[in-house]
């Protein structure tokens, strides 16, 4: 293998596809706006169809539309003519992908789509093709040449079509007022979803699992409580469960650095951190992470609006939940 030749070819592919993508910019005109309007006013689903490599791109465009607030799904045009066409209703919008604009499997079902009186948006590499002429609106995704040196394998053409699909999806996202919270609701299993949807109350330790000692407890009693509960800290509360302060592993190390300490005599109230950071249960777990990161601490007490202790959370909880 000639390493220099390999790198030269790879650079040529990237340059070719970048050039072809930029060539889309002057083609974004009223036809693009009209396509967006059809999809924005769609009362059903956006159905995306394509054969071969265009089918793979169509599937990806459908997935991107669905995840950005425009309900969509992919239908294989070959299967559509054998029963799957029943998945398309008169409330839908159809997007058809064909580089040549002459794909038989798509042209076969075009009359049936038009009989439903649904908008047909085509993305073709030939604005003079039959599919482009039959469509309600055609978006030109033609390219000068494929990145394949043989000019055969769909490469640049599929990239450009995917980019046009992304442009449609993001334009619709903005028009719908789609927010990060909306995105999180459709991606609850992803990290972004968890950061935007998971609250402290969902993962905090409660009741007997909260490390607590009274203000008059000794350091030894506090250490036992910290070991028992395993959160790297203990809260210090009064008789009404009001939070007075916290004592952490870090506090213990700092005290020991100052010399010998009688753990059975010293009171936790004398060495605890007062005016400690806390968080409310209805705040996002991501807010707890931000506080821990900024203050370089590993745990937080959870309090209500009256400063009553109701829970505790630490960095391991955030890690287990996928917020980090």
Q: Which of 144, 178, 212 is the last residue of a domain?
A: 178
pLDDT at residue 264, rounded to an integer: 86
Q: How far apart are CA 37 and CA 41, in angstroms?
A: 6
Predicted confidence (pLDDT) per residue in 34-69, tens digit: 999 999 999 999 999 999 999 999 999 999 998 888
Residue 150 in any domain: the answer is: yes
Q: What is the CATH number of the domain that holds 48?
A: 3.40.50.10490
For residues 158 and 215, state if they share a domain: no
For residues 157 and 214, state if they share a domain: no
Predicted confidence (pLDDT) per residue in 259-271, tens digit: 777 888 899 999 9
Residue 216: CB atoms within 10 A of its CB come to 10
- Full domain range(s) for residue 70: 3-178
For residues 156 and 209, state if they share a domain: no
Q: Are 212 and 225 in contact (CB under 8 A)?
A: yes
For residues 239 and 281, state if they share a domain: yes
For residues 164 and 49, state if they share a domain: yes
Token digits for 319?
Answer: 């890690």
Predicted confidence (pLDDT) per residue in 279-290, tens digit: 999 998 888 989
The C-alpha angle 188, 194, 200, rounded to 5 degrees, equals: 130
Q: What is the CATH number of the domain that holds 252?
A: 3.10.580.10
Strands 120-124 and 137-140: parallel
Residue 190 in any domain: the answer is: no
List, in sequence order, every residue forming a beta bridge with 300; answer none if it has no partner: 313
Residue 189 in any domain: the answer is: no
For residues 17 and 116, state if they share a domain: yes
Number of domains present in the structure of the chain: 2
Per DSSP (E only), the strands in 69-159 are 72-75, 93-98, 120-124, 137-140
What is the DSSP secondary-structure string of 206-236? -GGGS-EEETT-BHHHHHHHHHHH-SSEEEE
């Amino acid at each position: 293998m000639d390493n220099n030749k390999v790198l030269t070819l790879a650079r040529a592919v990237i340059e070719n596809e970048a050039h072809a993508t930029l060539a889309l910019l002057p083609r974004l005109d009223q036809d693009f706006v009209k396509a967006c309007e059809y999809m924005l006013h769609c009362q059903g689903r956006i159905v995306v169809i394509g054969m071969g490599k265009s089918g793979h791109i169509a599937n990806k465009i459908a997935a991107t539309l669905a995840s950005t607030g425009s309900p969509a799904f992919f239908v294989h045009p070959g299967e559509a003519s054998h029963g799957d066409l029943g998945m398309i209703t008169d409330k839908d919008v159809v997007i058809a992908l064909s580089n040549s604009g002459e794909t038989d499997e798509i042209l076969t079902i075009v009359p049936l789509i038009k009989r439903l009186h649904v908008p047909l948006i085509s993305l073709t590499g030939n604005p003079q093709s039959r599919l482009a002429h039959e469509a309600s609106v055609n978006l030109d995704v033609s390219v000068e040449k494929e990145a394949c040196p043989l000019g055969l394998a769909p490469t640049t053409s599929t990239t450009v079509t995917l980019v046009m699909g992304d442009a449609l999806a993001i334009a619709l996202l903005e028009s719908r007022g789609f927010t990060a919270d909306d995105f999180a609701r459709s991606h609850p299993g992803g990290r972004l979803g968890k950061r935007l949807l998971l609250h402290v109350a969902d993962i905090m330790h409660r009741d007997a699992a909260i490390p607590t000692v009274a203000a008059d407890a000794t350091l030894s009693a506090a250490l036992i409580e910290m070991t028992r509960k395993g959160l790297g800290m203990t809260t210090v509360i009064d008789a009404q469960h009001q939070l007075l302060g916290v004592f952490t592993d870090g506090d213990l190390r700092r005290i020991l650095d100052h010399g010998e300490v009688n753990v059975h005599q010293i009171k936790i109230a004398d060495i605890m951190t007062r005016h400690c950071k806390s968080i409310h249960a209805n705040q996002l777990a991501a807010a707890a992470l931000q506080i821990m990161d900024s203050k370089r601490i590993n745990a937080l007490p959870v309090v209500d609006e009256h400063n009553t202790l109701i829970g505790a959370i630490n960095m391991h909880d955030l890690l287990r939940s996928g917020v980090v």
